[in-house]
Amino acid sequence: MIEKNYTITSDEGLHARPASRLVQVVSPFTSEVKLEFKDKQVNMKSIMGVMSLGISKGKEIKIVADGKDEERLMAAVDELIVGEGLGV
């Protein structure tokens, strides 16, 4: 299991477009991946789940991956979040 925390820096937070990109990035992997925010945990492969959290700028999230390809999954998530300026 791998866990990583991020602080969202995008002015729009995790609105529809970045949430959709996150779901697209993690969906091909076989590992389970959860997004945690304010004591709630959702399946990160679910756009409705991610959107339901209403994550805005400055908020801290935790991503937890567990499975055979968890390291590659987290590398892809990190590349998207940090590489595209969504968070640090």
Which of these is catalytic: 2, 9, 15, 42?
A: 15
43 is catalytic: no
Q: DSSP for 56-84?
A: -TT-EEEEEEESTTHHHHHHHHHHHHHHT
Strand pairing class (32-37; 40-43): antiparallel
Residues noted as catalytic: 15
